[in-house]
Structure 1
Amino acid sequence: MVFYKYHGTGNDFIIFSAMERGEPFLSPQEIAELCRRHTGVGADGVIFACPPRAGGDAGMRIFNADGSEAEMCGNGIRCLAKYLYEREGIRRDRIFIETRAGTRELLLTVEGGKVREVDVDMGFPEFGGPDLPDSVEAGTPVEVTLDLPGGERTEALCLSMGNPHCVVFVPHVERAPVEAWGPHIERHPYFPRRTNVEFVETVDEGHIRVRVWERGVGETQACGTGACAAFVASVHSGKGATSMEVSLPGGRLRIYADPGGHVHLVGAAVEVFSGELSSGWMESP
């Protein structure tokens, strides 16, 4: 099985083509083993490039490092766009990729036959639904108070970017209790299918710093939907402008809202290497 390794702002993925098979062909256990840093390829997740079913150019099925399936991934879809252009022959600078969160439009900046940057239309943020706490006020992120280990409490804003997010504003993101609070909030009863957690420091109205605890993965170098959720929470709380730079441990992304209210994620994608899995790769020595 041939695979390709990509990263978007340090958020790394293993990409397989399922264009001929039509569906993902690895079990959750195999995906989890592949993502292990020491005994597998090592990644935050696995992406399958699938044939389209609703008029798009391709489909995306994405799985977290624990083998669970995610609805959407902003960094992953940029990596897939680069893969489709450079490896699958979809040589257009405007493509549509079908995800479990809906079809996304992507604009590719191409230089010398290589995709340098991708602008993803992430759609409208959602402030209600079965994956989020009940909303009291329509049209705004859900405000909750969370009880935490050690008797601590924190205020948070909850929303969906195709997948659930819980945003916590902190004074200093480098000192944020990501490892302590992240797994607790991820599995809080407010979130029936768990949630991603963003710890956000406001630098100024055009710049935020973010660390992300990803559902089914742990802390990652970056998270595209998480950066978008942090942006939306910042705008709705009066802390941010409608175009912002988001600094994450793996690099920087640009997030903006277009005149229609859609959130856009802009950043690069990088192919790191390709390889072929050996036969019996999951067998213990």
Structure 2
Amino acid sequence: MGRFSKMHGLGNDFVVIDARTGPVAMTEARVRAIADRHAGIGCDQLIMIGDAPDADVSMQIFNADGSEVEACGNATRCVPLFVGRDVTIRTKAGLLDARLIDGGASVDMGAPRFEWDAIPLAYAMDTLTMPASWEDLPAPAAVNVGNPHIIFFVEDLDAVPVERLGPLIEQDPLFPQRVNVNFAQMVGDRHVRLIVWERGAGLTRACGTGACATAVAGIRRKLTSGPVTVTLPGGDLVIDWTPGGTIQMTGSATHVFDGEADWTRF
């Protein structure tokens, strides 16, 4: 039997497994079975916490479709709560620093990247105002914050057919590793509303890396300045970034319950 915790960040929910006491074999099929909300435990992402030679812990992130991804901001905020102290975390996206605050955590998410081949895109183009769009959407920006994001700043967020356009854009050949799709509306000088179609997960209550990417894109376009409050369906995150620096993300993290499971049954 293996122990796990159910946790969430603004409703973006996780099954968190502690693999420091013994290895846990994960396949795409097993992740999908665990993530299934009817026949499994249910989650947007499965998180594996392990040992790391150069950090307090390592974190592996699997989307509900079984794919492994580089970064997840909401999950990163849950890690110090899971471990019980401030931690450095080794991820595929790099080394992250997460510290506990009242009700959640603050995370240094590292420096964003804007080069076309770092997003990555299929071919070279400007990533601040991309010469590409879909249907009536305005020209987007692209940012890599450990994983790839495209951001559309729209006039009326409620008018965007997110569930139709999200998967269409996610799987466009322009994005060889697929992409997270952010639809944003400025609602104040330092306040943005955001809905994210997540790569491999679809619509979720919140996306931490999406909030980071959107705030960075807004600051680069001079639509806003940090700190930026990003309102997602699950609640608010505060993102701060100064060009040339790293991204600071602050928000809630919640422990729901602990459980045990025989992973070989999934």
The two structures share one fold, judged by TM-score above 0.5: yes
Query: What pairs up with 1:71-86 in 2 under 5 angstroms?
Result: 71-85=70-84
Q: 1:227 aligns with which of 193, 198, 211?
A: 211
Unaligned runs of 5+ in 2: none
| Counterpart residue identity of residue 197, structure 1 | V
Q: Which amino acid aligns with 1:158?
A: A
- Fraction of identical pairs, as percent: 38
Could you tell me which residue of structure 2 aligns to residue 34 of structure 1?
A: 34
Which residue of 105, 109, 134 corresponds with 1:122? Answer: 109
1:99 to 69, 91, 103: 91
What does 1:46-195 correspond to in 2, within 5 Å? 46-53=46-53, 55-85=54-84, 91=85, 93=86, 95-109=87-101, 116-128=103-115, 129-133=117-121, 134-136=123-125, 141=128, 143-148=130-135, 152=136, 154-195=138-179
Aligned residues: 263
The one-character-per-residue Cα deviations of 1:110-144 (angstroms, maximum 9, x if unpaired) are: 5xxxxx2211101111012354224545xx63623
Q: 1:199 aligns with which of 165, 177, 183?
A: 183
SS at match of 1:98: strand
CA contact under 8 A between 1:120 and 1:265: conserved in structure 2?
yes
Task: Tell me how far apart the structure 2 counterparts of residues 20 and 239 of structure 1 sit (CA, whole Å).
Answer: 47
CA contact (8 A) 2:32 2:65 kept: yes
SS at match of 1:144: coil
Q: Greater strand percent: which structure?
A: 1
What is the rounded CA distance, in whole Å, between the counterparts of 2:176 and 2:43 in structure 1?
26
In 2, Cα distance between equivalents of 1:126 and 1:259: 11
Q: CA deviation at 1:37?
A: 1.4
Match of 2:255 among 255, 267, 271: 271
Deviations 1:29-83 (A, max 9, x none): 1111111111111110100001012x21000001000000010110011112210
Is contact 1:145-1:153 (8 Å) kept? Answer: no
Contact map agreement 1:131 1:192 (CA 8 A) in 2: no
2-structure distance, mates of 1:280, 1:28: 13
Segments of structure 1 that go 5 or more residues without pairing to the other structure are 86-90, 111-115
Please give the root-mean-square deviation of Cα atoms over the aligned residues, in Å.
1.9
Amino acid at match of 2:31: I
